[in-house]
Structure 1
Amino acid sequence: MTGKLYGLGLGPGDPELITLKAHRILSAAPVVAYPAPDTGPSFARQIAAAHLSFHQVEVPIVVPMRVERFPAQEIYDEAAETLSRHLDAGLDVAVLCEGDPFFYGSFMYLFERLSGRYETEIVPGVSSMMAAAAALGRPLAARNDVLSIVPGPLDDETLRSRIDAAGAVAIIKVGRHFHRIRALIEAMGLTAHAGYVERVSLPEQRVLPLSAVAEDVAPYFSMILIYKGGEGWNASLAAENARHNGMTP
């Protein structure tokens, strides 16, 4: 019999946001795989570190973190081949995923390669978007609001059209695009409706109205939430923006 493949969502960073189910599988799996940069530690492994044991086989999946494109297909092909050897030996494999495995997660590429050959189970996790809304203290959307999730690397024209079409927007993958995105939001007259969250759920978390962010750059783990609907929390964010800027709301 072959082993079972698990995609474990670990949440946005706070180890206490790991679900009980993910913790149970993580603690029992003989093989644990996780994405890792070519320099520095694996963030997914850091989240799960307290629950790993010395008898587990660890398989880092090294993905270069660079602006230029890299041969991603080759990396996932090689990782799938490595994991398949463990699965063929009858060992369960737990792949650690920051946030949720199927929400912009790299696990989906392993799922594509392996799920047709091995029994596979996905354990959902708390996404950074949900955690950011909780940290900001403002619901994402309500009633008939349309919520759009927009990747920051999109060009300005596409960003503008997506923001225009939605009542609530989560701009993810902000990072090095922060200055350009903030300028676009300002030009659209939406700064007062926007909140900024970086490194959500971690000790160094920052939560601010977008207008109060002094820097022109943002870390990779940052997000901008915009609400344009008619619910009361829109007014409360505008008031918070005003307070940070020394204005009377």
Structure 2
Amino acid sequence: MTVRAVQVIAGADVIAYHSARHGRSIARSIAAEHLRADHIEEALIYPVTTESTDHPGGYRGALDEFYESAAARLAVHLDAGRTVAVISEGDPLFYGSYQHMHKRLAHRYPTEVIPGVTSVSAAAARLGKPLAEADEVLTILPGTLPEEELTARLASTDTAVVMKLGRTFPTVRRAMERSGRLPEAHYVERATMTGERTEKLADIDAETVPYFSVSVVPSRIADLPPSTGTSTETATGTGTGTGTGTSTGTATAGEPSGPGEVVVVGTGPAGPLWLTPESRGALAAAEDLVGYTTYLDRVPLRPGQRRHASDNKVESERAELALDLARRGRKVAVVSGGDPGIFAMATAVLEVASQDPYRAIPVRVLPGVTAANAAAARAGAPLGHDYAVISLSDRLKPWEVIAERLHAAAGADLALALYNPGSRSRTWQVGKARELLLEHRAPDTPVILARDIGGPEESVRTVHLADLDPHQVDMRTLLIVGSSQTQAVRRDNGTEVVWTPRRYPEG
């Protein structure tokens, strides 16, 4: 208890506290030595402690009625001029029962809230493990959340505390396991009180878990050696497997922490807003990050991680480096833009992983938001019906193949998402594609030019196919070409939306 809390209790006329029907109150037991015989005690006894009730308003209705009644009882004392101290375990406004009194009384009477030590802080102190360090993000979760939500949030955060275990423990444990956080998770019961227990969460019997317990996933940084920092290496050279380039980033720092693996992660088209929780968690858990420099720059720096940056034309070499690191027991994330399986790094990694000596190395591919879907969402819904995705880059396939596919897709009246339309060295492909598409599409077919979607220079424009200017297209632009059914409509607020109806005219 804080000094201020002791002072307030000493000066109060009435001491109020919440308890279950058995009448025992943890808050009262903590403050017991400071209570006087002349204190008026108000035990606010919950009518229900589970969601099973025959109240006509259900569990929420029963509690609302109780809080109204409890507030009215305290208001009688306040109207009589008595000072009321409502004692609450932990902090009164942190998942505390007092907050329901506060909502009903604070606007009517002078009120002071005395902060307390939360179970979160107490649990970390008893474990002797920092909750968060440097730029780590701490997430506090109620165990009552659905399992899928718990799993996603545990996967995406650096450190976490899950409150309100008890009956929720099996769900919380499954979420910890599914998110990959179970090995890091600790269990703390009744921190700083009689009956305190601390163990690894994986070792806990669900039948023994009370409500007043928490799970803690502490700081990863705290477990690193004091001298461990973040290093960056540039991949440029000679690997030992199937690649033709080379990698100077063959890291050997520290002993492997367990079996190695490669996770191919899609960062979306730009920035953290496009990153899935699963991908965010994989990037945080990796010991090594391998990727094109531009994509690595999107990932926050974390102490203890090594970065292996390279040019955007050495996919096989990056894949080989990542698999070599994993073969040494490292946990490696290969960072890719957009979705790693669409014109990106998943194919390169799996191609190398299918050859000796990498066949036994675990490889996972995590999906990301691809540029076509991001651009389509900005414009409206131009890909609302069948569509095709084609790269105009002839660096890895001949133009004749691209032209044949454009003819086939356009002839089938598919909307088109065109990746890699142009660059400094490829200046004529957009013009040729426009000519080819005009053989199948009307001149006024909507074409969306989506540039730097999600980035600081984002722009989305719609032009007619006949007016598509190749000089306005670069490598950071994605083109979406509508089908014969695609509509471009200007709405009352002046914005234009492009959409392709899901119904197709009958033949």
Q: TM-score normalized by structure 1? A: 0.82
Tell me which of 137, 152, 166 is aligned to 2:157: 166
Match in the other structure for 2:6: 23
Distance 1:230 1:34 in 2: 38
Contact 2:133-2:222 within 8 A present in 1 as well: no
Contact 1:139-1:233 within 8 A present in 2 as well: no
Secondary structure of 1:87's aligned partner: helix
Q: How many percent of aligned residue pairs carry the same amino acid? A: 38
Q: Could you tell me how far 1:27 is from its partner in structure 2? A: 1.6
Match in the other structure for 1:108: 99
Match in the other structure for 1:43: 26
Q: Residues 217 and 187 from structure 1, CA distance in 2 versus in 1: closer, same or farther, beyond 3 angstroms?
A: farther
Structure 1 unaligned regions, length at least 5: 1-17, 236-241, 243-249
Secondary structure of 2:161's aligned partner: strand
Equivalent residue letter for 1:138? K
1:197-208 → structure 2 map (5 Å cutoff): 197-208=188-199
Contact 2:129-2:222 within 8 A present in 1 as well: no
Distance 1:41 1:82 in 2: 19
Contact 1:19-1:125 within 8 A present in 2 as well: yes
1:211-222 → structure 2 map (5 Å cutoff): 211-222=202-213
Match in the other structure for 1:233: 223
Q: Could you tell me how far 1:188 is from its partner in structure 2? A: 2.6
Match in the other structure for 2:51: 67
Q: Could you tell me how far 1:76 is from its partner in structure 2? A: 1.1
1:78-227 → structure 2 map (5 Å cutoff): 78-227=69-218
Q: Could you tell me how far 1:182 is from its partner in structure 2? A: 1.2
Match in the other structure for 2:370: none
Contact 2:155-2:180 within 8 A present in 1 as well: no
Q: Could you tell me how far 1:179 is from its partner in structure 2? A: 1.9
Equivalent residue letter for 1:108? Q
Hey, which bits of structure 1, 4+ residues long, moved more than 3 A?
214-217
Contact 1:179-1:217 within 8 A present in 2 as well: no
Equivalent residue letter for 1:60? A
* CA displacement, residues 142-182 of structure 1 (integer Å, 9 cap, x when unaligned): 11111111111111111011112211110110111212221
Contact 1:179-1:216 within 8 A present in 2 as well: no
Structure with higher Rg: it is 2
Q: TM-score normalized by structure 2? A: 0.41
Secondary structure of 1:224's aligned partner: strand
Task: Name the one with the larger helix percent.
Answer: 1
Q: Residues 216 and 81 from structure 1, CA distance in 2 versus in 1: closer, same or farther, beyond 3 angstroms?
A: closer
Q: Could you tell me how far 1:190 is from its partner in structure 2? A: 1.7
Q: How many matched pairs?
A: 218
Q: Residues 59 and 214 from structure 1, CA distance in 2 versus in 1: closer, same or farther, beyond 3 angstroms?
A: closer
Contact 2:169-2:206 within 8 A present in 1 as well: no
Distance 1:129 1:66 in 2: 23
Structure 2 unaligned regions, length at least 5: 53-58, 226-257, 259-507
Higher mean alpha-carbon deviation, 211-220 vs 35-44, is at: 211-220
Higher mean alpha-carbon deviation, 212-221 vs 146-155, is at: 212-221
* Higher RCO (CA < 8 A, seq sep 6+): 1
What is the RMSD of the two structures over their aligned residues, measured on CA atoms? Answer: 1.8
Equivalent residue letter for 2:12? A
